[in-house]
Structures are given as C-alpha cells and as structure tokens.
Amino acid sequence: MEKLLALRMGGRMRAHRFNWRNIRNELLGRSMVTACGLLIIVLTLFLVLFITSQGIALFRDNGVSLTEFLLSTSWHPDRIDNPQVGAAVFIVGSIVISLLALLISTPISVALAIFMTEISPGLGQRFLQPAIEIFVGIPSVVYGWMGLSVLVPFIKNYIGGMGFSVLAGGLVLALMIFPTIASIAADTLRSLPGHYKEASLGLGATRWQTIRLILLPSAVPGILTGVVLGLARAFGEALAVQMVIGNSVRIADALLKPTINLTSIMTMDMGNTVMGTMWNNALWSMALLLLLISFCFILLIRRLGAKGAMVK
Amino acid sequence: MRLKKVIATTLLVALPFIAAGCGGGDKKAEENKQPAQVSGSITASGSTALQPLAEKAAQQFGQKNPNAKVIVQGGGSGTGLTQVAQGAVQIGNSDIFAEDKAGINAAELVDHKICVVGFATIANKKVTVDNLTHQQLIDIFTGKITNWKDVGGPDLKVVIVNRPASSGTRFTFQKYALKGAEEAAGLGLQSDASGTVLKTVSDTEGAISYLALSYVNDTVKTVKLDGVEATVDNITSGKYPIWSYEHMYTKGQPTGLTKAFLDYMGSDEVKPLIKQLGYIPNSEMKVSR
C-alpha cells in the first residue's frame, strides 16, 4: 500500500518536473487561484468602503448626531417637518432577541455536544451529526414560516399575549443557531488531547467528573467561539425573526410583547425609501452599525481562537 | 489531471450560455425578415405590488415583439423612482405619486397611470362590527379607541396590523382612510407582505388591517367605510375613497421601445390581465385623481 502510494507520488513528481505542459497548467491554475483570491479581497474592501460612505452620510449630510442616532428612541422618518431617526429601539431589539436566543441555545447545544462526543459517540456520529447538518441547511424563510404558523399561535394560546413577541423571536433564533454552537463545541471536545481524559479516568474520576472538571473547562475557548459565531448569525438574521416578532416600533417591556430589530426595519423600509434621503441614510447607518458589530465578533473569535491554541 | 477536469467542467457549465447566445443570434436573423418592429431592451424596476402585472404584460409583449425585451424587477417604489430619476432604468414602477415621495424631483418624471388598485379595511372574524365611520377608523389607528366595544363590537382588544411607514399601501390608507392623521408610534404589529397581513389578521383576535382587494378572501371580514362596501363598482363610481393608481414613471417623455411598451400597457390587450390580477382598468374609472 505504502509502496504504491510512493510510486504514485514519484510518478506525479516526475511528471511535474519533465512535462512542460504540466508546468504551464500549474502556472495557469496558480494564477487563476491568485486572481480569485485577489478579487475577493478587492470586493470585500469595496463593500466595506461603500457601506461606510453610505453609512456616514446621515451624520455628514443630514446633521444627525451620533448620540441621537444611537440613543434616541424616537423613530419618525416619515414626518415632513422635523423627521427623527433615533435607532435605539432597533438596537435594543437586536441585542435582547439575540441574547435571549443564546441563553436558550447555549446550554442545550453544549449538552448535545457532550452527549455526541462523550456519552454516546456512536449515536452521535450516525444520527445526531446528520440531523444537525440538516438543520443548518434549512432556509431561514422556512424557520420564519414555521414560527409564524406554529410557534406564534402556540404562544398566543398557551402562554399569553398576541404570540408575536420577543420570546417567539428568541426561540426561532435559538433553533437557528444551535447547530452552529453544537457542532463547534463537539469539534472542540473531539480535538482535546486524549491523555486529558485518560489521566483523569486513571486518577479515579468518574465519567461525569471527567466531563465536568477536565473536558468542559479545556473546551471553553472553542465553545465560546461557537457562541460568538452563533451570536453573529443571530444578529444578522432578518427574515425569520421579522416574521415572528411583530415589528412594533417600541422597546418591549416584557418577553411576550412585540418589538422590532435592526434587520427587520432595514428589510421593510430599504426598497421603499429614496436613495439620498435622510430616511434611507438612516437605514444605511444601521447597515454600517451591523457591519461594525460583526467586525467586533470576528475580532473576538480571533482572540478566543488564539487563547484556545495556547491551552493546547 | 485535476486541472483538466476543472477546465472541462468550466467549459461544460459555460456551454449552454454560449449555445444560448448563438441561438439568440439565429433567431434575430430569422426575425429580421419580418416587417419593422420595436427592438432592444429596457428595464422596469420598483413597486412589488405592480410587479406581477408588469411581468405578465412584459411576457405577452415579448411574444408579440420577439426582438424587444422588457425586464421587470422589484425592489420597492422608492427604488423604482430613484433608479428612473438616475437613468439607471427606463421605467420606474410606483404605488404612489412621485410628488408624494420625499427626495424625488417629480418635475423631471412623467407619470403613466397603469391601473387602479382598491384597498379594503379588514378585521378578524371574531369582530362583529360591519361598518366604521371615518372618525372611528381614525380613532382606532391613532390609539384613541383600543377596544371593539367602543364601536359597538364585542369586548375585544383592538390589535392593529400596520404596514411599514415607507409602504405605498400605508401611504394610501393614511391619506384616504385616515385623512392624513399620523398613526400612534409603536401601536400594534407591522408586516410588509400582503400574505402575512392576511394570515395575521385571520389568526389574531381583534385584529384590524387593510389590504389590496385582490388579496382579500373569506378568512377575514371586510369592514365598510361610512356604510360603503369596498367593491369595484363603488370604487369606479367614486363612492369608496381608498384606492390608488399604479404608476409607471419615465424620465422625460418616453421614446422607442419604452413608449411602445407603455402604449401596450394602456391597450385593450392588457385589460383582461389587469382584471384577472385583481386590479381595475383606468378606462372603467368614472373618477380620477
């Protein structure tokens, strides 16, 4: 087997060295890949530049102060005189719903990851992993439609309120981000050095003690990476949340009250407002805000990743 | 080896496009023998309410004029008006008059009214109220009336299902049903899709909203305004006020293919399509705005 492999590799290497056509192909391929890579970098830069230039127009051209935009809850962009574009309601909505989703999703996802890797790896590999992958592939509009047809009536009939609520949004998002957190947590647990577990068991710790005291603490950076990725997805999700939170422009004072978030107001108003007006600019500023938030999340993930590498 | 595969796959993927390109060329050559027709390509973008009609009409138009291509895109009324004013598209579709949209220089745009769309006030089936006066409707949407019992209905909390503030439907409703009164902020739910509005109103007790006539069905109750029912006859005769035009705007007077398409939109050939999709043809209106 190994001989065969060596022979094949040798053959390939010879071909590389002596066949000028192969060299040309190699060069062609390399330049193609490089061009694609550069294209993506340039595209990203342009995207960031474009959103930034549109996003600061509100403060530059319309004279809205940053504090007013971030802290005011008064959203009346349709008023003819003295329109107001305070985005605090949307920012608070996004934060509250995403955090609620994390609160529901994280314990369940971590428990699932432990079950898949430590308690029952066979079942995990054969059934749970594929099931989680299916969850990732479901389009968000389906989650939203399910939420609207099943979850909203359920909350209305058995818990209270109108059904459209922060709770509904949090639950739908929790379902959407659990695959992210669970699969990253499971990967981290699997990649822990085997001797951690062996040493712990060798010292006489039970399986549960090993999981609780050795494996989980060592996997914390990886699990946190999953949590932040989940949070990033929760923050950016638009359609599914928009369908179940009711989109009332006010800060919810209870879990069963409707509210609205950044992505919902953007998808609802973007197409109907005119480019260059204060209203449209305010939506661009929200887009910029979302971009900045996701940058922060990425930085956070990088730091966590570096920390995780050090533990190993 | 692998690289060859990549190239082969790329070619395979590209082949249909190349073939399609060639095929198009062939067709053009054939059609050139026929008498002179409009040709070229124009784009219409904007209102999603007008989109289904515009798409179907563009299809019919394309069958009649194989050399001409009318591309219809959505994006919303604001996008349509912005793009036509910028010259990015030839036709901007809008639910409302360009004069009513902030940030648009309406003077440089020419309005082409395509058809009329009527809106009904709808309520959840548990609401027994059949009729609301203008004033009652205003009081409900501004938050002064919060229980259906105040307008002769059951003891049910009023749940308003609104459109986003930028929506053309909301603008029309606010202007002609609420007589311009500003709805109270944060009151009730908001939804930007007609299908979702219908579902929400039919599922939520005490819900009230408004919907284009073509979307209304018997899962909800339609409410009369000042005793007048929202029917096509009442709209065309001017008895019922909540309706608006669907507009196609051009920058300056239309020429060439754009003019031909707009003429076609106003012709009798599109009339059955307009009725079939739940709109009202302009020619049936006895009143105008």
B36 and A CB contact within 8 Å: no
* Whether residue A18 sits in one domain with residue A109: no
Mean pLDDT over B252-271 rounds to 92
- pTM for the model stands at 0.81
Residue in B79, B159, B196 closest to A271 by CB: B79
- pLDDT over 80 (residue B18): no
- pLDDT over 60 (residue B25): no
| pLDDT value, residue A287 | 95
CATH number, domain of A263, equals: 1.10.3720.10
d(CA A85, CA A283): 9
Least confident window among A77-81, A209-213, B210-214: A77-81
Long-range contacts at A187-195 (CB < 8 A, ≥ 24 apart) = A187/A222, A188/A113, A188/A219, A188/A221, A188/A222, A188/A223, A188/A225, A188/A226, A188/A308, A189/A113, A189/A114, A189/A117, A189/A118, A189/A215, A189/A219, A189/A222, A190/A117, A191/A222, A192/A218, A192/A219, A193/A312
Within chain B, strands assigned E span 40-46, 68-75, 91-94, 109-123, 131-132, 159-162, 189-190, 207-212, 221-225, 243-251, 280-281
- pLDDT over 60 (residue B216): yes
Check if the beta carbon of residue A55 is closer than 8 Å to that of residue A284.
yes
- pLDDT over 70 (residue B3): no
Which of A272, A278, A279 is the mutation pick for testing B, counting most B CBs within 10 A? A272
Pick the CATH number of B118-237 from 3.40.190.10, 3.40.50.300, 3.20.10.10, 3.40.50.150: 3.40.190.10
A72 in any annotated domain: no
Q: What percent of chain A has pLDDT over 70?
A: 92
* Whether residue A93 sits in one domain with residue A42: no
**Chains A, B: CB pairs < 8 Å:** 97
- pLDDT over 90 (residue A80): no
| pLDDT value, residue B4 | 53
* Contact: A29, B6; criterion CB under 8 Å: yes
Check if the beta carbon of residue B70 is closer than 8 Å to that of residue A247.
no
pLDDT band at B34 (very low <50, low <70, confident <90, very high): very low
* Whether residue A250 sits in one domain with residue A153: yes
A152 and B CB contact within 8 Å: yes
Tell me the per-residue pLDDT of A140-173, one tens digit each, with 9 for 90 and over: 999 999 999 999 999 999 998 888 999 999 999 9
- pLDDT over 50 (residue A18): yes
CATH architecture group of domain B41-117+244-284: 3-Layer(aba) Sandwich (3.40)
Check if the beta carbon of residue B116 is closer than 8 Å to that of residue B266.
no
Tell me the per-residue pLDDT of A129-140, one tens digit each, with 9 for 90 and over: 899 989 888 999
Q: What is the mean pLDDT of chain B?
A: 85
Q: Which residue in chain B has the smallest CA separation from A149? A: B199
Q: Domain limits at A29? A: 2-55
A60 in any annotated domain: no
More confident residue, A215 or B27: A215
- Window 162-181 of B: residues touching A by CB (8 A cutoff) are 164-168
A70 in any annotated domain: no
* Contact: A274, B192; criterion CB under 8 Å: no
Which chain A residues have a beta carbon less than 8 Å from that of B188? 248
More confident residue, A305 or A228: A228
A160 and B CB contact within 8 Å: no
d(CA B50, CA B44): 11
Instruction: Tell me how many domains chain A contains.
Output: 2
Mean pLDDT over A26-33 rounds to 86
Which residues, listed in sequence order, are joined to residue B112 by a DSSP beta bridge? Answer: B248
> To the nearest 10°, the Cα dihedral for A201, A206, A210, A211?
140
CA distance B29 to chain A (A): 37
- Window 228-257 of B: residues touching A by CB (8 A cutoff) are none
- pLDDT over 80 (residue B115): yes
Tell me the per-residue pLDDT of B138-190, one tens digit each, with 9 for 90 and over: 999 999 999 999 999 999 999 999 988 888 888 999 999 998 888 777 778 88
**Among positive and negative, which fits the CA dihedral B203, A245, B50, B224?**
positive
| pLDDT value, residue A301 | 86
Residue ending a domain, among A16, A36, A55, is A55
Tell me the per-residue pLDDT of B67-93, one tens digit each, with 9 for 90 and over: 999 999 988 888 999 999 999 999 999
Residue in B82, B199, B204 closest to A274 by CB: B82
Residue in B4, B74, B164 closest to A268 by CB: B164
d(CA B246, CA B178): 20
* Complex confidence, ipTM: 0.75
* Whether residue A129 sits in one domain with residue A34: no
Tell me the per-residue pLDDT of A277-286, one tens digit each, with 9 for 90 and over: 899 999 999 9
A29 and B CB contact within 8 Å: yes
Residue A84 burial (C-beta neighbours within 10 Å; 0-12, 13-18, 19+): middle
- pLDDT over 80 (residue B287): yes
* Whether residue A7 sits in one domain with residue A120: no
Can you give the residue ranges of every domain in chain B?
41-117+244-284, 118-237
- pLDDT over 50 (residue A103): yes
pLDDT band at B24 (very low <50, low <70, confident <90, very high): very low
A156 in any annotated domain: yes
| pLDDT value, residue A88 | 94
| pLDDT value, residue A4 | 53
Tell me the per-residue pLDDT of A224-241, one tens digit each, with 9 for 90 and over: 999 999 999 999 998 899
Mean pLDDT over A13-26 rounds to 65
| pLDDT value, residue A99 | 93
